[in-house]
Amino acid sequence: MRIAYLEDDPDQARLIRLWLEDAGHQVTSFQAGRDLVRVLRSESFDLLILDWMVPDMTGIEVLDWTRSHYDWNMPVLFCTQKNSEDDIVRALEAGADDYMEKPLNQRELVARVGALQRRMLLGRSNSQSLDFEPYTIDLANRTITLHDEPIELTQKEYDLAVFLFKNLGRAISRGHILDTVWGMSPDLNTRTVDTHISRLRKKLRFGSETGWGLTSIYQHGYRLDQANPHEERGGSAGHEQASP
C-alpha cells in the first residue's frame, strides 16, 4: 500500500517507515500536518497513519480535513500517546478506522495495517469476475466486455481500467496511477497517464451512453464513478478543497 505517515519525531518516523517497508508497503513521512495536507491536494494514498500532537496542524485536524475535503473511503490509523477514552472516541467519531497507543510494537502495527488493507480489499471483489453494468471484467483472462462485447485493450489499458474500477468513487492522483499501474516514479514528468485515460474514455465509451463517467480533477488526477445520465458531464471537475 501507499502510506502517508504523519510523525514529527524523525527517529520514530524512520523506525516505523523501516518496519512498514519491510512488510512490503511504500511509505512517505511528514513532520507537519500542513505539509501532509498540501501533498494530499495533488497526491492520493491507500492509508494514512497519523500522530495527534504534531506542529502547526494536529492529527485530528488533518483527519477532519481529510474526511471533509479528500476521501471517506481511505482508511486512517491513529498512532499516538493520547490514550484517554475521550481521545479515542473523538478520533473514531471523526472518521479514524483504528487507534494504537505509543510506544508501538512492530508486529502489532504491521498486523493492524494488514487488517486495514484486507478490510479495504473486501470492499472490492475477490472473485474472478467483476460486474459493473454494463461492463464485465474477467480477471482470469484479463478481458473487459461492454454489453457482452469484448473491448480491445492493450495490457496497460486493461490494468488501468481495473485499477480505476477497483477504486470506484475515489480521487486517484496521476502519481498514484503511475506508481501502481506502471511501477514508475510519480515524480516523472510524463503524459502517459493522461494519454491512456483519453484512450479508455473512447474505448469504454464513458458518458451518457453507458452511465459511467471518468472525471478529470484539476492538478490531481481522475475519479471513476457512475454518471447521472440526465446531467451533462464536462471534461473536468474541481476537486473540493478548503484551506486548513
**Do 136 and 117 share a structural domain?**
no
Whether residues 21 and 88 share a domain: the answer is yes
Is position 243 within any domain? no
Inter-axis angle of helices 192-203 and 155-166, nearest 10: 80
Q: What integer pLDDT is reported at residue 180 of this predicted model? A: 87
Give the C-alpha distances (Å, rounded to integers) separating 49 from 113, 143, 155, 204, 225: 9, 36, 33, 36, 27
Structure pTM?
A: 0.69
| Co-location of 144 and 231 in the same domain | yes
Range of the domain at 55: 2-122
**Same domain, yes or no: 53 and 141:** no
CA distances from 45 to 2, 48, 170, 177, 243 (A): 5, 7, 10, 10, 20
> What is the predicted pLDDT for the residue at 16?
97
- Residue 184 has a pLDDT of 75
Number of folded domains in the chain? 2
- Clarify whether residues 118 and 137 are in a common domain: no
Q: Do residues 101 and 143 share a domain? A: no
CA 244, CA 233: separation in Å to the nearest integer? 29
Whether 102 and 137 share a structural domain: no
Assign residue 235 a region (left: φ > 0; alpha: ψ between -120 and 50; beta: otherwise).
alpha
pLDDT of residue 229: 42
Instruction: Give the pLDDT confidence score for residue 111 in this predicted structure.
Output: 95
From 76, 97, 122, the end of a domain falls on 122
What the block records as the C-alpha cell of 58 is: 494536529
Q: Cα(61)–Cα(188) distance, rounded to whole angstroms?
A: 31
At residue 124, the pLDDT reads 52
Measured over the CA atoms of residue 227, residue 228, residue 234 and residue 238, the dihedral's sign is negative
Widest Cα–Cα separation across the chain: 57
Residue 244, domain member (yes or no)? no
Residue 128: what pLDDT?
Answer: 76
Cell of 54: 504534531
Cell readout for 237 is 471537475
For residues 107-125, b (16+ Cβ closer than 10 Å) or e, as one string?
eebbebbeebbeebeeeee
Q: What CATH number does residue 201 fall under?
A: 1.10.10.10
pLDDT at 182: 87
Q: Judge if 6 and 108 occupy the same domain.
A: yes
Q: Which residues of the chain have pLDDT under 50?
A: 125, 229-244
Cell of 240: 473540493
Assign residue 25 the CATH number of its domain.
Answer: 3.40.50.2300
Shared-domain flag, residues 76 and 155: no
8 A C-beta contact, residue 36 and residue 43: no
Could you report the per-residue pLDDT of 2-13, keeping only the tens digit for each? 999 999 999 999
Looking at residue 18, its pLDDT comes to 97
